[in-house]
Structure 1
Amino acid sequence: MKAPCERHRPGPAARAAARLGGKVPVLDTRRLQLRGPRIYDFDAYAAILCSDRAQYMGGPFTRAQAWSDFTNYTALWLLHGHGLWTIDAQVAPSAGFALLGYEYDDPEAELGIFLTEAVEGQGIAQEALEAVRDHAFGALNWDSVVSYVDPLNTRCIALMERVGARLDTAAMETLEATLVYRHERGAA
């Protein structure tokens, strides 16, 4: 069941939200467009976070917890100038999500990626991750960004290695049971 906050409400506020969302940088790749999240993307977001797909992200979550997570990462655009992107693929709209984001206790911004089951195994995660990483190094002029990875998430570990991220053991010293992969400008 959808909560009232999940429903689109036409009118001046919806138009203002669309104008704000239009300020989020759009990242285009060969097969993907990464764009600012919209209210109707939440169903795909919740489908990921409320399922076993979120097992390495502290989930599965309740729908209310997924809404909190979605709105937190979306709000980062206003607070930090980076946040959550929706991944639109040629094969599926709302195919997944990529982010440069913070959770409350994160020591530094995280480069994260998560997909719907329908598009897994098609190289979309790598393509989106590289686009967001390049945005961090180019438009944001960052020298590095990290990805926090559960040690049991072998698919994500393989992705980090494919894109040239290195295990940062010094950054891991302050975190419990989390691998920290560092992406550095010019290293990939």
Structure 2
Amino acid sequence: MSLVAAPVLESENLILRGPIASDAEPVIAFLMDRPRSDGFGGSDTRSDAWRWFTLNLGHWLLRGYGYFTIELKDSGLPAGLCGIWNPEGWPEPEIGWVTFAGFEGRSIAYEAALRVRRYAYEDLGLTTLTSNIVPGNTRSAKLAERLGARYERTYTNVAMGEDDLFRHPGPDEVLG
């Protein structure tokens, strides 16, 4: 059972659902894999990674949205995270994504981000979205561009330092 009041979203191959207690282990493993997680807020210790997991729960409670767990329909395995993130100090709501080790290169993040963006515009009524990407994270930048987002500017992110802000197409372009 979800730990937060998150809807369940579906796409062709994925179920996007709120976090459950057993998601803590794959999230902690991802966050402690610094080469993979540094652009997402990687952690040096298990306790810091656990705090990030609970931070996402609190984000859902305060904002009414956060990171969904990406679950594969065919296996039920958690494959990553994707959702809307807008903590204190963020310039505006962001679509963020990660895939866990072993799930890269299968368009999972792309499919999840398309579904989350539709949810943000249709259900949450958001009118603008960004993806904030650490410079040099070329895979994420290419995915943002594949989603139709365009580089807008570089800014100083309160948590991550320098970030490149990519602007997603608005609801009229996506839902029209």
Same fold, judged at TM 0.5 (above): yes
Match of 2:101 in 1: 117
Provide TM-score, normalisation by structure 1: 0.82
Give the partner amino acid of 1:178.
D
Equivalent of 2:115 in 108, 125, 131: 131
Does residue 187 (structure 1) correspond to residue 173 (structure 2)? The answer is yes
Match of 1:178 in 2: 163
Query: Does the CA contact (< 8 Å) of 1:111 and 1:133 recur in 2?
Result: yes
Does residue 160 (structure 1) correspond to residue 144 (structure 2)? The answer is yes
For residues 1-188 of structure 1, the aligned pairs below 5 Å read 18=1, 21=4, 23-51=5-33, 52-89=35-72, 90-91=74-75, 93-169=77-153, 172-173=154-155, 175=157, 176-183=161-168, 184-188=170-174
SS at match of 2:88: coil
Tell me the alpha carbon deviations over residues 22-80 of structure 1, each in whole angstroms, 9 at most, x when there is no partner.
x3111100000000101100111011110021122243432111111111112222211
Provide TM-score, normalisation by structure 2: 0.87
How many aligned residue pairs are there? 168
Identity of aligned residues (%): 35
Query: Does the CA contact (< 8 Å) of 1:53 and 1:60 recur in 2?
Result: no
RMSD: 1.8
Shift of 1:150: 0.8
Query: Following superposition, which runs of at least 4 residues in structure 1 exceed 6 angstroms of deviation?
Result: none
Segments of structure 1 that go 5 or more residues without pairing to the other structure are 1-17
Give the partner amino acid of 2:116.
V
Shift of 1:92: 5.2
